[in-house]
Amino acid sequence: MVNSIRCATMLITGALSFCGYELGKMKAVEEQVMFSIPNFSTISKQEGNTAANLFVDNLHTLGDDIVKQLQDVKTSPEGRLFAIYLSGELRDSRACTHLIKYIDFKAPFRDPALRIARWGTYPSQEALTKIGVHGVQLVLLAIGDEVDKTRLGLLVDVIRDIYGDQIAKVIIREAAAKAEKKENMLKALEMLEGKKGN
């Protein structure tokens, strides 16, 4: 299988120990993870199956590390930003609970990339949107319990960004019909309909 490895090698330099990371000071301990992608058109079914499983296992291991750093209270704001961003890029639903916790976390600095920005003001909201439908039930539960208007609005934006206005309204109405606490669901519906909440 070694001979069938293409030049396409994925170097994940984002697998950093973010806990002590400070912008401009590389305190982080970098862990470079290389994923070799085989040319699936030239390998056997068994080799392809093994390579695919290994690739997925490596992604899960990488995701485990990022989620641990996301939940670590010692992670710096800058480090938390990168952990949030990577959780969204990996579409890792295991991070949803922590992303909801940090839904109103503001990016401590603007994206230095000289292209379309990788994150905006509220990176957790963007990461949850990228994770998509796999996080919706947790977001709906959080909407039902949220007391802060800004956080509630950001959670509603996740549902809106995933489904669009019309389907989001249907989902919120259905959730309101089943919810024991209907007040927040009705506020969420008002936000979707463009009305001012109380």
pLDDT digits (tens, 9 = 90+) for 109-136: 988 776 788 899 999 999 999 999 999 9
Handedness of CA 87, 160, 122, 70 (dihedral sign): negative
Rounded Cα distance between 141 and 125, Å, is 15
CA dihedral 111, 106, 194, 178 (to 10 degrees): 120
Per-chain mean pLDDT for the chain: 81
The reported pLDDT for the residue numbered 61 is 79
Rounded Cα distance between 77 and 107, Å, is 8
pLDDT digits (tens, 9 = 90+) for 46-84: 888 888 888 788 777 788 888 998 989 899 999 999 999
The reported pLDDT for the residue numbered 24 is 46
Q: Taking each helix axis from N to C terminus, what angle separates 136-145 and 165-178, rounded to the nearest 10 degrees?
A: 60
Residue of 165, 154, 74 lying closest to 120 (CA atoms): 154
Rounded Cα distance between 28 and 75, Å, is 11
**Residue 23 · residue 110 · CB < 8 Å:** no
DSSP 80-106: HHHHHHHHHHTT-GGGHHHHHHTTTPP
The reported pLDDT for the residue numbered 5 is 35
Please tell me the pTM assigned to this model: 0.77
The alpha-carbon radius of gyration of the chain (Å, integer) is 20
Q: SS3 of 43, please?
A: coil
Rounded Cα distance between 143 and 100, Å, is 10
Rounded Cα distance between 1 and 94, Å, is 32
Rounded Cα distance between 135 and 159, Å, is 10
So where are the chain's domains?
2-192
| DSSP H helices in the chain | 45-71, 77-89, 96-101, 123-131, 136-145, 149-163, 165-178, 183-192
